[in-house]
């Protein structure tokens, strides 16, 4: 009985460990692109703007500081959008490539 249970207990992790190693999934780096980092930067820039807004309304920062911060953040956001545009157009290209490949495979299948 103990031996049976022990074998079960061994098999359980072994199966989990071996499965990813033997399946046929190619080791492709999932294309994430810059998008994730850009999203983080976007969030933190917006947060920065909000905080500047809040602190100015409470009185923690002066008017000149407030305006300086607003200018800086806005310009950084604009830079960010330009980068996003580049990323998005790259994504567009890749999606087109994938679509092309899928179509090719489909055509080959139909021929068979």
Task: Point out which residues bind other proteins (CB under 8 A).
Answer: 1-2, 5-6, 9-10, 12-13, 16-21, 23, 25, 27-30, 32, 36-44, 46-51, 53-55, 57-62, 65, 68, 70-75, 77-78, 81-82, 84-85, 88
Q: Which residues contact 78 (CB under 8 A, 6 or more apart)?
A: none
- CA separation for the pair 103, 28 (Å, rounded): 21
Q: How far is CA 65 from CA 18, 53, 68, 70, in A?
A: 58, 11, 5, 9
> Which lies closer to other proteins via its Cβ, residue 25 or residue 111?
25
Query: Rounded to 5 degrees, what are φ and ψ at 32?
Result: -105, -30
Question: Within 13 A of 27's CA, how many CA atoms are on the CB side?
Answer: 3
Q: Which CB atom, from 26 or from 111, has the smaller least distance to other proteins?
A: 26
Task: Give the residue with the Cβ less far from other proteins, 92 or 106.
Answer: 92
User: In the bound complex, what is the minimum distance in angstroms from residue 91's beta carbon to other proteins?
Assistant: 8
Residue 109 Cβ vs other proteins, minimum distance, rounded to whole Å: 27
């Amino acid at each position: 009985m103990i031996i049976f249970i022990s074998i079960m207990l061994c098999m359980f992790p072994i199966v989990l460990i071996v499965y990813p190693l033997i399946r046929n999934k190619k080791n492709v780096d999932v294309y994430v692109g810059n998008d994730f980092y850009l999203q983080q930067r976007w969030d933190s820039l917006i947060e920065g703007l909000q905080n500047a807004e809040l602190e100015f309304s409470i009185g923690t920062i002066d008017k000149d500081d407030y305006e300086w911060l607003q200018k800086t953040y806005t310009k950084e956001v604009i830079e960010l959008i330009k980068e996003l545009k580049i990323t998005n157009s790259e994504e567009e290209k890749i999606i087109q490539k994938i679509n092309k490949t899928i179509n090719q495979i489909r055509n080959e299948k139909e021929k068979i």
